[in-house]
Structure 1
């Protein structure tokens, strides 16, 4: 029970960090340069151009609340607490930045730099949020509604909604800004995937060594990881060998490599990247 509470606290802690990164990218780089890079934030930037008295943060908060109400009515209560927190938290974070740390002048007037730094912050932030089994809501909800009522794939529906917003940006702010906004949408999608892969990546290590017992003990007692043992036979020598296989974090692998180097510099080790590990000792299979 205590471990579950601790995990939940850490999830919301990292979601909050992700939210603040996304909010900073949107408010300091995308909003000042009218880069409506999809999502509710992009739509809020377009609306703010026509109704400047209503802030982007307040527009996002209002639209997210409306979308959640519609989603609960039409789709059902299928949204977890993390998604509600992340979605409304992002809107609130931008609203707070507008009030406490308002923009006095653009960080940069260069559209390409604004796209790169804005998407770098938002992509990393959204990757962190998604990795903690949450979503920033917005057009994700629209995509789910299109999927339910018009049987359009969620991915295609999300692309349609984001493309529609970048099209509005082009019509509102000019085709050049619209093209940069579309570029931002494309880069953001790739960046989010890379961040998630990087956060979840582990090492699968295979070891053949004459010091197998010592290595097994080190992996289980010092690294706290389990391992699998295979019996193999060398094709050249015909000698029976014990093959150890374990999955661990990158940091743990560095420790293991140094340990093996000290006790058996002739050990044979192969290492491969594992993009995601689910189950005991890693990410749980259950959701929110």
Structure 2
């Protein structure tokens, strides 16, 4: 085992827990009752459950993850981290609680709505889990094994594994449910990527103002951030100027914009969106 314990803050715990709850909800109330096996260990568990209906899907996911983690420790050396272990086994626990105490059933008979809403809810949950440095294990482990032994790119390996599960879904549940499962696999991957970008979006600002010292003080003291001061030269005025470069969250940007409007309405502000910022004050670069 290379690394089991990593920094696991209370915020990480809460957000990952919310994420796996959403995944469990999407599976239990939309995908599982309608036999939509949209890839991953959960999709494989839905297929197995169709043959072993006395075993809950959550329990099957737990057994599959235990087997996969054991195989991975032998073949690729583990190194999953506490967050991934928590998310993987926590998902099974939440699903077991739902199956035991709430008896999930079909909310709507419309297969399209079940596939679409279920995929959307699961996508939000998975994006939250990934965004806080965890994963739910499962087919990620199979992809690592394929990558090691046949040198297949991990992204392609994940797609191959999920596609095989999708084909198995067609053979098990018929062409309609199977094709919805394949569609959900494709949409889910793109949805997760876009949601993660949305979670991490920040504002990149370039500011030119004659009140630069007041602005710097506001950024440091009120927003608890820092900024970089760049020396520039005005092409029109032929004067030396200072350009402030800073990256802020959307809420911080709104506060700073309001402050600049009050003290220097003629200031120049250039704003861009950035989708990932790593380092002090933002996302840990080690994640």
TM-score bucket of the superposed structures, by smaller chain: over 0.9
Distance 1:25 1:107 in 2: 11
**C-alpha displacement of 1:163:** 0.4
1:209-228 alignment runs, 5 A limit: 209-228=209-228
Task: Show the counterpart of 1:180.
Answer: 180
TM-score normalised by structure 2 residue count? 0.96
User: What are the Cα deviations for residues 119-142 of structure 1, in whole angstroms up to 9, with x where unaligned?
Assistant: 111101000100111111000001
Contact 2:8 2:83 survives alignment (8 Å): no
Distance 1:12 1:149 in 2: 34
Task: Show the counterpart of 1:49.
Answer: 50
SS for the counterpart of 1:253 is helix
Distance 2:247 2:128 in 1: 22
Whether 2:79 is the aligned partner of 1:78: answer yes
When the two structures are aligned, how many residues end up with a matched partner?
Answer: 282
Runs in 1 of length 4+ with deviation above 2 angstroms?
none
Gaps of 5+ in 2: 1-5
SS for the counterpart of 2:159 is helix
Task: Show the counterpart of 2:133.
Answer: 133
1:55-94 alignment runs, 5 A limit: 55-94=56-95
Whether 2:30 is the aligned partner of 1:29: answer yes
**C-alpha displacement of 1:251:** 0.5
SS for the counterpart of 2:34 is coil
1:141-156 alignment runs, 5 A limit: 141-156=141-156
User: What are the Cα deviations for residues 62-112 of structure 1, in whole angstroms up to 9, with x where unaligned?
Assistant: 111111111111111311111111111111211111001112x41111111
1:1-288 alignment runs, 5 A limit: 8-103=9-104, 105-287=105-287
TM-score normalised by structure 1 residue count? 0.95
SS for the counterpart of 2:124 is helix
SS for the counterpart of 1:31 is helix
Q: For residues 157 and 277 of structure 1, do their structure 2 counterparts lie closer, same or farther at Cα, with a shift above 3 Å needed?
A: same
**C-alpha displacement of 1:286:** 2.1
Distance 2:8 2:247 in 1: 21
| Aligned-residue CA RMSD (Å) | 1.3
**C-alpha displacement of 1:276:** 0.8
Gaps of 5+ in 1: none
Contact 2:234 2:240 survives alignment (8 Å): yes
Distance 2:13 2:129 in 1: 9
Distance 1:201 1:161 in 2: 31
User: What are the Cα deviations for residues 139-193 of structure 1, in whole angstroms up to 9, with x where unaligned?
Assistant: 0001101111111111111001100111011111111111110110111111111
Distance 1:257 1:114 in 2: 43
